[in-house]
Structure 1
Amino acid sequence: MALKQSLQLKQQQKLSPLQMQVIKLTELPVIELEERIKQELEDNPALEEGLEATDDTSDFDDEYNSEDDGNISQEDLTLGDYMNEEEIPDYQLRDSNRQASGKQEEIPFSVAASLHEYLIEQLGECELEKNDEKVAEYIIGNIDENGYLDRSLSAISDDLIFQQNLDISVSKLEEILKIIQDFEPAGIGARNLQECLLLQLTRKEKSDNTELAIKIIADYFEEFSKRHYDKIIRQLDIDETGLKGAIQEITTLNPKPGNNWGDSMSITLSTIIPDFIVETYNGELLLSMNNRNIPDLKVSREYSDLLKGYADNKESMSADSKNAVLFVKQKLDSARWFIDAIKQRQDTLQRTMQAIMDMQYDFFLTGDEAQLKPMILKDVAQRTGYDISTISRVSNSKYVQTSFGIYPLKYFFSESMQTDTGEEISSREVKAILKECIEHEDKKKPLTDDRLSEILKEKGYIIARRTVAKYREQMNLPVARLRKEI
């Protein structure tokens, strides 16, 4: 087959480094942005804190890059040439999803032991043979963050044969697991919810309610989980008062005993720091960004002067000097891109939040959920001129502080619905009515989805049963059968 050359013309869409920076930074909430800036300041010596001084190096850059004297040309200083594997800018290599700390005050991270470390520490207090201790450590390693053993003992037995050359029977594993299940917290090492509850109940102080609770969980767990209380009362020959006492004992148990040992990062990430602040003043709304811990950034004057010094000696530049120029140029470009990206992020967030505030003006003024208007991403995109994907990034993981509480931006987005009179309303208003109906229902005879649909129709909202079920699930409300109480 003969070799041949050919030309091909095609269009490709590529993101510039600045665009990539803006996209990544836009997604970050303010607390993660603070950490991202802090990390960039550590990694890039050409980036400094402080107000930006007048930059007179741009003319120099144009002159430096436009001249072709055989040493360094424009091609030498393009992004692709100096972005080798070791010098790729940090924004392309580093995951930016880190937790932030304030500029002057660090967020204290927990240094407490993890769940596995806590269990291993308790294991050290047991007098086990060497092989049994290895097996116990392996079992502990298979306990998930909720405190459950997420693998079967037969599978663990197979793993021990192949990975550690230990032939341990399932019955022996059961004995070692029983030892681990005596550790704190109560319920640890359970293989399912039923076993977890039983482990906790057996540690409780003996009483009539505790004994009855153990019998219910051990022998009537399916009926209990489905809330078939009448069946339990008949089969155990007890009254409602006795059943209530047993259920009260059960509800005090922890279905996820390992949750108290959540890692420090997860705990910190659960802290909500608002990105926007909306205040009312004389009947008007004032919007501000929560930038109190975000420092001003500038390009290092020292690095700019250093690059200018290299340019003044281009004629006698050695290979090492060329590499130095490439390094300095890269760091300066990365610093400028980062500063511009921060500015664009702030402008994008400001305009987007202003559009949301304008569209939901009555809610921000009164705090009345009924004042929320139907609003989707497309509506905000049309007002701001941004793409829908940009609005989605802005609204993701961002919060706004109002006089009535802190809300996620996604809270203000809802579908449009119509009443029987043709009036356009927000689906959130329907959800509020559903929630109110369920909160005030007779818990002995909770309202079914069909009945809730009928109630909404009586109020003028034409909602199908399937839609009622969808809204109920979105509000994390169980079906009528699971809401039943005695």
Structure 2
Amino acid sequence: MLKHSLQFKLSQKLSPQQIQLMKLIQLPTQAFEQRLQEELVENPALESGKEEVENYDEFEDNVNDEYDDYDNEQINTEDINIDEYLSNDETPDYKYQTNNYSDDDEDKSMPFAATVTFHQDLINQLNTFILSDEEREIAEYLVGSIDDTGYIRRSLQDIVDDMAFTQGIYTDEKTIEKILHVVQELEPAGVGARDLQECLLLQLKHKTPSDSIDLAIEIIKDQFEAFTKKHYDKLLQKFDVSKEQLRKAIDEIEKLNPKPGGSYDGNQKPTEHVVPDFTIRIVDGELELSLNGRNAPELHVSKDYQEMLQSYKVANEKSSSQKDAVQFIKQKLDAAKWFIDAIRQRQETLYVTMNAIMHYQSEFFLDGDETKMRPMILKDIADMVGLDISTVSRVANSKYVDTPYGTKLIKEFFSESMKNDQGEDVSTLEIKKILQTVIGEEDKRKPLPDDKLAEILKEKGYPIARRTIAKYREQLDIPVARLRKKI
């Protein structure tokens, strides 16, 4: 049975322009520049640089009415106000004025050096060994099985099977292992290992022999598990050595590289350079904020498109093709206007949001003391600037600010609050900083367990549970007391 019913529903929909603005806001400076270039390529009505302005005659507000019924097209040329797209202003009105931009808009390029890859370098080193054709093929296959960290993560039997199926080379594990020992002679030391224990042993055997090196080899070979768990008493008893001898052996082990492949220069990924989106400076004891000038591009409507509109306006006869062209031009000009307006709003949103954060955390920005960081959540800033929390989040999550104390990710200034013993709200960042300091000053021969750390922070005025201490310690990437122990 069919029924008709009336239902009231409240919903919110974002316009394409709003979606475009949100996407632009979350882009950091470098990604924003790339997005800008894409838009310039896609929209021929949009041009960069300062506009060369000419004086145009005043046109009527609307296109002649006689073309209203042209093929019932979706866009009515009567709705086109051509004058909106023609400007006599020397400076585009979208440009966010005042001196809120830093002089950081010069075009810089980074040279890249051509380097030999990690695996190619290993292949080149094989040329120094005398190998048969079959041994050479096996050695090259083993080198190809080495990952970027320098390890072979597959079993020898798997390699034997793969070589039979893919290379047509029939061999056995004993032969593979023999050639593997050749590969493990390559530089950097430790390459070609099948696990961490073998990697460390290979590196130690490459070192000049000494009492400390010999003891280190025995520790890794026979007592690897005790070493990883830092059971130093067991090691002292097992090898019957003094604490000083054990300490020297452990020092040798700690100098080794657990990922030998990562140390190869040609194997490094290109360094990602952070471009600060804001700059904060202290001028005469006052904080001064500026937005990176590369976020304020100069854009204008194409002069050729303006002339097309002018020609259409003054034409005595308007053909079908001309009418199609003016509709295309209107679409492109609308898109250009939306994009320019979105850039202006992006600039304003970035500036007012960072300005609010700067004033909220003014104590920190004035002297750089992280313990003076105030508790701050997204809602605090959203309420100050009258923006949505999601908008503030987009600004904070991907933007960097250059301060007198280094370049920092903006979201690092946000933190929850906790009560101290005085009942005052303090930032969790402040507590983590104090925890880090306490652990840094502890006696490494007797590291402080979490319950003891909780007692110390309570004495300092921060009543925190042991499990909270453990959570903060993990967030700071600090291991448990047993693994911080040194002999």
- Which TM-score band (shorter chain)? 0.7 to 0.9
CA distance in 1, matches of 2:191, 2:27: 36
CA distance in 1, matches of 2:49, 2:257: 50
2:135–2:179 CA contact under 8 A, matched in 1: yes
Give 1:162-241 correspondences, 5 Å limit: 162-241=165-244
Cα drift, residue 242 of structure 1: 1.2
Q: Which amino acid aligns with 2:429?
A: R
More divergent stretch after superposition (64-73 vs 122-131): 64-73
CA deviations over 1:360-394 (Å, ceiling 9, x no partner): 11111222222111111222222223332222221
Q: Secondary structure at the match of 2:270?
A: helix
CA distance in 2, matches of 1:475, 1:244: 27
Q: 2:276 matched to which residue of 1?
A: 274
Q: Secondary structure at the match of 1:187?
A: coil
Q: 1:376 matched to which residue of 2?
A: 377
2:421–2:463 CA contact under 8 A, matched in 1: yes
Q: CA 1:122–1:371 in 2, change beyond 3 Å: closer, same or farther?
A: same
1:34–1:294 CA contact under 8 A, matched in 2: no
The match for 1:109 among 102, 107, 112 is 112
Q: 1:86 matched to which residue of 2?
A: none
Q: Which amino acid aligns with 2:121?
A: Y
Q: 1:81 matched to which residue of 2?
A: none
1:355–1:383 CA contact under 8 A, matched in 2: yes
1:285–1:365 CA contact under 8 A, matched in 2: yes
Cα drift, residue 200 of structure 1: 1.5
Gaps of 5+ in 2: 1-6, 78-103
Cα drift, residue 73 of structure 1: 2.7
Percent identity (aligned):
51
Q: CA 1:10–1:460 in 2, change beyond 3 Å: closer, same or farther?
A: closer
Cα drift, residue 133 of structure 1: 4.8
CA distance in 2, matches of 1:173, 1:373: 61
Q: CA 1:143–1:265 in 2, change beyond 3 Å: closer, same or farther?
A: closer
CA deviations over 1:117-161 (Å, ceiling 9, x no partner): 333443455555556555544444443332223333334444445
Q: Secondary structure at the match of 2:109?
A: coil
Cα drift, residue 475 of structure 1: 0.9
Q: CA 1:109–1:102 in 2, change beyond 3 Å: closer, same or farther?
A: farther
Give 1:65-464 correspondences, 5 Å limit: 68-70=68-70, 73-74=73-74, 103-123=106-126, 128=131, 133=136, 135-261=138-264, 266-269=269-272, 271-292=273-294, 295-306=297-308, 309=311, 315-318=318-321, 332=333, 334-464=335-465
CA distance in 2, matches of 1:386, 1:281: 29
2:200–2:253 CA contact under 8 A, matched in 1: yes
Q: CA 1:375–1:36 in 2, change beyond 3 Å: closer, same or farther?
A: same
Task: Say if 2:20 is the partner of 1:21.
Answer: yes
1:398–1:408 CA contact under 8 A, matched in 2: yes
Counting matched residue pairs gives 454
Q: Secondary structure at the match of 1:230?
A: helix
1:65–1:74 CA contact under 8 A, matched in 2: no
Gaps of 5+ in 1: 1-7, 78-100
More divergent stretch after superposition (462-471 vs 384-393): 384-393
Cα drift, residue 63 of structure 1: 4.7
Cα drift, residue 437 of structure 1: 0.9
Cα drift, residue 316 of structure 1: 3.2
More divergent stretch after superposition (206-215 vs 448-457): 206-215
Q: 1:80 matched to which residue of 2?
A: none
Q: Secondary structure at the match of 1:396?
A: helix
CA distance in 2, matches of 1:182, 1:331: 64
Q: Secondary structure at the match of 1:246?
A: helix
CA distance in 1, matches of 2:323, 2:152: 59
More divergent stretch after superposition (292-301 vs 457-466): 292-301
Q: CA 1:299–1:114 in 2, change beyond 3 Å: closer, same or farther?
A: farther
Q: CA 1:394–1:117 in 2, change beyond 3 Å: closer, same or farther?
A: farther
Cα drift, residue 234 of structure 1: 1.1
CA distance in 2, matches of 1:473, 1:65: 72
Q: CA 1:45–1:137 in 2, change beyond 3 Å: closer, same or farther?
A: farther
Q: 1:37 matched to which residue of 2?
A: 36
1:307–1:329 CA contact under 8 A, matched in 2: no
- Rg bigger for which structure? 2
CA deviations over 1:142-184 (Å, ceiling 9, x no partner): 4333222333333444444554555453444333433332222
TM score, norm. by length of structure 1: 0.80
1:18–1:340 CA contact under 8 A, matched in 2: no
RMSD between aligned residues:
3.8
2:151–2:193 CA contact under 8 A, matched in 1: yes
Q: Secondary structure at the match of 2:288?
A: strand
1:109–1:264 CA contact under 8 A, matched in 2: no
Cα drift, residue 252 of structure 1: 1.9
Cα drift, residue 301 of structure 1: 1.8
Q: CA 1:70–1:483 in 2, change beyond 3 Å: closer, same or farther?
A: same
Q: CA 1:253–1:416 in 2, change beyond 3 Å: closer, same or farther?
A: same
Give 1:46-57 correspondences, 5 Å limit: 46-51=45-50
2:295–2:347 CA contact under 8 A, matched in 1: no
2:296–2:347 CA contact under 8 A, matched in 1: no
Q: Which amino acid aligns with 1:401?
A: D
CA distance in 2, matches of 1:106, 1:386: 36
Q: Which amino acid aligns with 2:375?
A: P
Q: Which amino acid aligns with 1:213?
A: A
